[in-house]
Amino acid sequence: MALSVLTVAAMSFSAAFVEPLTVENRTRQPLLITPVGTLYGREHKAPLPMVMLAMLPVLSPRAGPFPLGPDESVTLHYNADDITVSELVIEDERGHTRQLAVNPEQNKEHGPLAERYVLEDIESLPEASPAVLAASVAARGMKAQGIVLLVLLIAPWLAYWALRRRVVERKSDPPGPLPK
């Protein structure tokens, strides 16, 4: 349980690195959006570490893809510590993947050029590069990390509650017969 408390305290520190990213779909078709990042000082592309809540940055069990219907927008929050968003991978209903570069200076320690990106004509965007596409595919498999973290945060508290309840129930039970 102490580890759970320390983890929450450490996560509140990492809230300073949480950045919003809003994507708006003005096309006439549903899209799947996967944000991809570049690690600081390296050219390696990786899924962005998404968080569930901006103020308590619990790692989300989902890093992409995020469905986005026509004329809808979504705001995602990610932990920008050691990674910056560099591309948005956009998949249309036919399965074609395109990329929108959102940070031309990817190895600099700053965020994207804007917090909001509007998608109007995805056909004019270049196809996703192999490295960006690989990071997009890897984002689909990141569910386990977030789920394990949530279990580690919540399980000690549930165990404590169950044990405490059991002790209270035992104290309220009438005493049995004395042994002879």
pTM of the model: 0.72
Supply the angle between the helices 143-172 and 2-14 in degrees, to the nearest 10.
140
pLDDT at 145: 60
Over the stretch 115-144, which tens digit does the pLDDT of each residue have? 789 999 999 999 999 999 999 988 887 666
Over the stretch 52-101, which tens digit does the pLDDT of each residue have? 777 767 777 788 899 999 999 999 988 888 888 889 999 999 989 999 98
